[in-house]
């Protein structure tokens, strides 16, 4: 397995302070996970369910509260940052100041785990940058300024950066958060193709319908802080989607993979 978690607990550790501090807050406890190669996993859950906390914990960006996470069988806590970056790439939702960097400059940051102490790009590194841009459909964007890109183009460039790391694992936290409908679909198609080519991918998202159509496996955090796992058909048939997301007015419709008004059979987006 590329990535495994055993009896994993995630959340926020206790913090000391003048007035008693902040107590430890456990969001998910005792979960087991496994990510093989050529697998696209979509992580779903209501707002505040802990998706980003789990993503950041699996990526090593947030300390875990218990259990163990392994990459290629090695305890992640034993890996330094460079070794971890050579095994796993992460694309987060946080926007950053790209300064005067071109698209090629941004993607080239993905090569630094491979460039040694001098951090100089060799011809091989530049070839990887170009092939990564081609893989996401941005082959003609090398000289464009990253700051001038549309939101969808930026997300593609950041995925290209992750590809340039040449890792077997890619973790994405809500990569479609700022995108319009066509761009969201395009990102999901791209991620599906990357998994088909051999990558192990975990993608956190609110796009329930796209996740159920494109992902190989669903990890669903429900309202009881339980993690439900299975292929899309299994998760749909279990009723877990509705249990996690249904509201007093809306219910998940398994046939259309959309949320419709209760007792009306009419989609909220219908004319």
d(CA 185, CA 152): 10
Q: Cα 119 to the chain's mean position, in Å?
A: 27
Can you say whether residue 2 is alpha, beta or left, with left for phi > 0 and alpha for psi between -120 and 50 degrees? alpha
d(CA 30, CA 59): 17
Q: Give the mean pLDDT of 227-231.
A: 97
pLDDT at 192: 97
Give the CB-side neighbour count of residue 217, counting CA atoms within 13 A: 18
Q: Which residue has the higher pLDDT, 170 or 97?
A: 170
Q: Measured at the alpha carbon of residue 88, what is the angle toward residues 85 and 89, in degrees to the nearest 5?
A: 85
Res. 99: pLDDT tops 90 = no
This prediction's pTM: 0.92
pLDDT band of 19, cuts 50, 70, 90:
low
Q: Under 8 Å CB-to-CB from 92, ≥6 apart: which residues?
A: 173
Res. 4: pLDDT tops 90 = yes
State residue 83 phi and psi, 5-degree precision: -65, -40
Are 128 and 86 contacting, i.e. CB atoms less than 8 angstroms apart? no
pLDDT at 271: 47
Using one digit for the tens of pLDDT, what is the confidence trace for 159-175?
Answer: 999 999 999 999 999 99
Burial tier of 115 (Cβ tally within 10 Å: 0-12, 13-18, 19+): middle
Mean pLDDT value across the chain: 92
pLDDT at 95: 75
Report all structural domains of the chain as residue ranges with CATH numbers, in order of start: 1-87+169-183+191-271 (3.40.50.300), 97-166 (no CATH)
Q: Report the SS3 class of residue 249.
A: coil
């Amino acid at each position: 397995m590329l990535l495994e978690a055993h009896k994993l607990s995630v959340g926020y550790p206790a913090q000391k302070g003048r007035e008693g501090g902040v107590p430890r807050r456990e969001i998910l406890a005792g979960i087991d996970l496994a990510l093989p190669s050529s697998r696209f996993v979509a992580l779903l859950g209501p707002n505040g369910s802990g998706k980003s906390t789990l993503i950041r914990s699996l990526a090593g960006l947030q300390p875990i509260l218990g259990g163990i996470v392994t990459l290629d069988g090695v305890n992640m806590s034993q890996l330094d940052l460079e070794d971890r970056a050579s095994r796993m790439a992460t694309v987060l939702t946080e926007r950053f100041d790209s300064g005067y960097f071109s698209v090629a400059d941004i993607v080239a940051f993905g090569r630094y785990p491979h460039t040694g102490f001098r951090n100089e790009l060799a011809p091989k590194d530049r070839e990887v940058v170009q092939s990564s841009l081609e893989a996401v459909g941005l082959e003609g964007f090398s000289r464009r300024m990253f700051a001038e890109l549309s939101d969808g183009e930026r997300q593609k460039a950041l995925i290209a950066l992750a590809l340039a790391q040449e890792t077997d694992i890619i973790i994405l936290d809500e990569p479609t958060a700022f995108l319009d409908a066509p761009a969201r679909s395009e990102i999901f198609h791209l991620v599906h193709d990357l998994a088909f080519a051999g990558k192990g991918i975990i993608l956190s998202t609110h796009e329930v319908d796209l996740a159920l159509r494109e992902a190989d496996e669903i990890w669903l955090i429900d309202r009881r802080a339980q993690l439900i796992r299975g292929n899309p058909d299994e998760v749909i048939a279990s009723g877990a989607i509705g249990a996690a997301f249904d509201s007093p007015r809306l219910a998940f419709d398994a046939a259309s993979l959309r949320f419709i008004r209760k007792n009306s059979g009419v989609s909220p987006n219908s004319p």
